[in-house]
């Protein structure tokens, strides 16, 4: 890995830095810009990386820069970084949710190689799912660099059509919240049937963890796994028929569509920023 700078030292940056160090990347190749003094000190102690209060100092020698900040912060940091980026032409990687490539080009310069990423919160424990797309200035080796960085936090998938990144956001970006909502509902339903809450939660969470591992580690179609659990006229069939009657597939489809639309709306709002 070449010289790498993180702009923003929050949870996602910390997870990526920790993942990179575990793969053998030297701490001396990483710098971080973080405005909060306490957070800078914690980053330095934990990871041994160079930390700066000013973005331009962290980015000065970087060949790869990861923008790990909120979308609303982008216009504020471009004035400080634009000259450095135009002079050094680093690979720019953005993990700011919903920020389009054309918006990044407007703020930081249209000549830059830019990769837009959509990680999700399980990346914080190395179990994330990230969609990536690149502008046409990103070389194959730079794509490999970006993928290596995000691979340290989970799986990655390249998206050829940037318009589909809003769907990625709706699926995997927001998806953990859907999962948590399902676990909440399972827990509440079991409690209503008389199970103690701690038992209901333990069984619901472990069941979902085990089912997820079967999907990932077995590599089989979810429909096949569902059918194996479903005995004719058994308890699982009764529950699935209830899901079907209540229109679960339509409910999920409408929810993902609503999240996709909202992602598009939020990105459009950023067009009004300077």
- Indicate whether 190 pLDDT > 90: yes
For 59-84, how does the pLDDT look when each residue is reduced to its tens digit (9 = 90+)?
999 999 999 998 888 878 988 899 99
Q: For 173-266, which CATH class?
A: mainly alpha
Q: Are 7 and 66 in contact (CB under 8 A)?
A: yes
Q: Average pLDDT over the chain, rounded to whole? A: 94
Cα gap 259→175, rounded to integer Å: 10
Average pLDDT over residues 201-219: 95
Residue for token digits 């929810």? 255
For 138-148, how does the pLDDT look when each residue is reduced to its tens digit (9 = 90+)?
999 999 999 99
Helix (H), strand (E) at residue 243: helix 235-245
pTM here is 0.91
Write the DSSP string, 34-91.
-S-HHHHHHHHHHH--EEESSHHHHHTT-SEEEE-S-GGGHHHHHHHHHHHHHHH--E
Q: Mention every residue, 6+ apart, whose C-beta is less than 8 A from residue 139.
A: 113
Per-domain residue ranges of the chain = 4-165, 173-266
What 8-state DSSP symbol labels residue 170? I
Query: 171 to each of 99, 119, 141, 259, how far by Cα in Å?
Result: 17, 11, 28, 8
Q: How confident is the model at residue 205 (pLDDT cuts 50, 70, 90)?
A: very high
- Would you state the pLDDT for residue 272? 81
- Would you state the pLDDT for residue 1? 60
Overall fold of domain 4-165: Rossmann fold (3.40.50)
């Amino acid at each position: 890995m070449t010289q790498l700078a993180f702009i923003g030292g929050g949870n996602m940056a910390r997870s990526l830095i920790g993942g990179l160090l575990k793969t053998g990347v030297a701490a001396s190749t990483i710098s971080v810009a973080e405005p909060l003094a306490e957070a800078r000190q914690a980053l330095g102690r934990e990871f041994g990386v160079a930390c700066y209060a000013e973005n331009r100092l962290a980015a000065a020698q970087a060949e790869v820069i990861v923008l790990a900040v909120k979308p609303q912060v982008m216009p504020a940091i471009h004035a400080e970084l634009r000259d450095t980026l135009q002079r050094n032409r680093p690979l720019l990687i953005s993990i700011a949710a919903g920020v389009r490539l054309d918006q990044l080009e407007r703020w930081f310069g249209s000549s830059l190689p830019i990769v837009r990423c959509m990680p999700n919160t399980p990346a914080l424990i190395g179990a994330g799912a990230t969609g990536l797309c690149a502008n046409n200035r990103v070389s194959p080796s730079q794509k490999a660099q970006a993928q290596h960085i995000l691979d340290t936090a989970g799986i990655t998938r390249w998206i050829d059509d940037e318009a589909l990144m809003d769907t990625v956001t709706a699926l995997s970006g927001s998806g953990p919240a859907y999962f948590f909502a399902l676990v909440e509902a399972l827990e509440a339903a079991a409690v209503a049937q008389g199970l103690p809450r701690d038992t209901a939660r333990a069984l619901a969470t472990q069941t979902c963890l085990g089912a997820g591992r079967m999907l990932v580690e077995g590599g089989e179609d979810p429909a096949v796994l569902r059918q194996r659990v479903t005995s004719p006229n058994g308890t699982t069939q009764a529950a699935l028929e209830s899901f079907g009657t209540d229109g679960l597939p339509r409910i999920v489809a409408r929810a993902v569509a609503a999240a996709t639309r909202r992602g598009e709306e939020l990105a459009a709002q950023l067009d009004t920023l300077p």
